[in-house]
A and B are shown apart, each in its own frame.
Chain A
Amino acid sequence: MKRNPRQIVKGMWSWFDEVTGVPGWLIPLAKHPVPHARKSAWFYVLGSATLLVFIVQIVTGISLASAYVPSTGEAYHTLAFISTTRFGSIVRGIHAFGGSAMVILIGMHAIRVYLFGAYKYPRQMGWLTGVALLFLVLGMAFTGQLLRWDQTGFWSVVIAAEQAGRTPFIGAWLGHFILAGDTAGGATLSRFFALHVFFIPALIFFFIGFHLYLVIRNGISEPPKVGNVVEPKTYRRWYKELLDREGIPFWPDAAWRDAVFGLIVIGTIVTLAVVVGPPALGKPPDPSIIGASPRPEWYFLWYYAVLSLIPRWSENYVIILGPAILIVVLVLLPLVACKGERSPFKRPWAFGIVAFIVFMIAYYGTVGHVAPWSPRMNAPPLPASVVGVTTGPIAAGAEVFHDKGYEFCHTISGYGGIRGPDLSYAGDRMTPAQMETRIYSGATNMPSYNGNISQQQLSDLLAFLSSRRRRPVAPAILPKPSK
């Protein structure tokens, strides 16, 4: 008997169906009815886009892991090697931008679910598994940038250990647990590699599976409508009637939007990877190179800024309690507010809370990027064009201003740090006596220079600072310092 290829494929397919049952289960699953979201339909693409980028991360991650050596001595060199190959550099770029994309998308997805009230009955567990995924993604982001194992990667581990050290009772042990011993050394990187490549991804797989199972079991939430109040007793029946009345098959009526948005997201990530390239490798992870100024990645900059700006006494509490309170609030949300109105127009505070969070992250992220609290230790000596003279006490004072470290914290005419007040016009604001007092006494964020500056240096410095005026004053008429 002769059969054409089409019949052969069909025969194989029905054999596969008969022995596994997968097609008979998968096709109805793909075509399961979802609510007709109409104008809100594009809001529903964020979750699937997060999943797609996660798959991108798995593919690029496996690709990178095939060349990366997780040893403190070799990791840096293997990354440098990967970056020198044409496609290795692109894959690194995709993985790095993909990591940022995951943080953005999972955040946007959480905001969408919160605004739509989709965490209410019967989808509370969907929210809770999502919260677990959010923190796991942040865990991936942190451990990922650390695997770069350049200077910033190394100091990230030390700073993480120091932060963990603030935990009551077990702090010191926890800090050394992160380091895998007494010092940051050979054993440190391997455990972060294991976390990033095995442990956290395994948990993510589990929670994604659970999350998707819940989406199928409880159905995609319908777009909220003012007056459609969630009542646990009747909701499931009401939802089923809604689907019977106006449901559309997920595949392909809703899924095409996921495909469009997914391609846009992945296209953007790959384009950035090709055009911008992967994050540059810093100096080698040699702890004896002291010039490091470690900074977190953008997604943790806001937290870095908050920790830097809060009152000092509250630091120990905020480092430990801040994240703990965030977790508690996110966990309690669907348990406490499990029914009632879903529409954000009936929950106006929801808009307020989202606006507040987005503002905090954006504002403090910017502040963290500028990091005004960090001294600018690479500030060059003030040029003659700023000082105005090249000899005499004012010029000598400008040198003292740089050499004694004042310039690292104070700006003069655009040079120097912004830790302390701008001293471009110090001469207009303070008398030499006031300056002298401040220099000797110091302040909360300024060291006292008592015993640390000679009379000559002080007198030059005061001459220099007093000459910083909107309208320059001839040096001859400047007042002499006391004593």
Chain B
Amino acid sequence: MNPDSIQASEPSPCETSRRRFLSRLSVLLGSIAGAIVAIPSVAFLLGLRKVPSVWRTVGKLDDFQIGNTVKVAFLDPSPLPWAGVTARTAAWLRRTSEQEFIAFSVDCTHLGCPVRWLPDANLFMCPCHGGVYYANGAVASGPPPKPLPTYPVRVKGGMVQILTSPLPITSS
């Protein structure tokens, strides 16, 4: 038999309304099936990992000289087991007095590139677009829209600790 010759018979009015009901029912049931799969899948994607801020030890108090700005590396607040080296993060840390420190983000506020500290020039400089910050984090020149963010630092039991923060994102 030729498949093209298969045709539904001419519907009666009763048949028409039954079919309309059945098509709407099918669309509705299909949508429900789709939604109960889509909602958890999308919700999982949109659920971003919030991590608590924690204090990370970056060294002994005596390791830091007053006035020096050094790079310190420490772990993410809650690294995933497979994160590897990506779980590391860094900050520019300066000992400003016997018990006081200031820590700057390494991410340029322009587009997030890692800024470098130029010890002789007393400046932070970004390799991407030449953004420059003064030693206090204020914008010296170039495209950065905001000063370098700072992280809270404390000295506890002779250890220097930095409070981890989310990656700073400059929004308009």
Contacts and interface: CB of A to CB of B under 8 A. Distances in A.
Interface of A: 71-74, 76, 154-155, 158-159, 161-163, 165-168, 171-172, 175-177, 179-189, 191, 284-288, 290-294, 308, 312, 315-316, 373-375, 377, 403-405, 408-409, 417, 419, 442-448, 452
B4 to A, nearest CB: 11
B88 A287 contact: yes
A70 to B, nearest CB: 10
Contacts of B107: 158, 162
B89 interface: yes
A316 B145 CA distance: 10
Interface residues of B, number: 54
B48 to A, nearest CB: 5
28 contacts: A71-B82, A72-B85, A73-B87, A74-B84, A154-B86, A155-B114, A158-B107, A158-B113, A159-B112, A161-B169, A162-B111, A165-B169, A171-B169, A175-B169, A177-B46, A179-B167, A181-B48, A181-B51, A182-B50, A183-B76, A183-B89, A185-B49, A185-B79, A186-B84, A186-B87, A293-B113, A377-B116, A404-B120
Contacts, number: 194
Given A167-B172, A176-B48, A290 B114 contact: yes
A293 B129 CA distance: 10
Nearest to B106: A290
A168 B171 CA distance: 7
Contacts of A186: 79-84, 86-87
B169 A287 contact: no
Nearest to B87: A185
A204 B51 CA distance: 35
A308 B15 CA distance: 67
A405 B123 contact: yes
Interface string B34-53: 00000000000110111100
A419 B112 contact: no
B122 A452 contact: yes
B152 interface: no
Contacts of A188: 86
B112 A405 contact: no
Nearest to A309: B129
Contacts of B113: 155, 158-159, 292-294
Given A187-B80, A312-B143, 13 more contacts: A72-B82, A73-B84, A74-B84, A162-B169, A179-B167, A181-B48, A186-B83, A288-B88, A374-B130, A405-B118, A405-B123, A445-B130, A452-B134
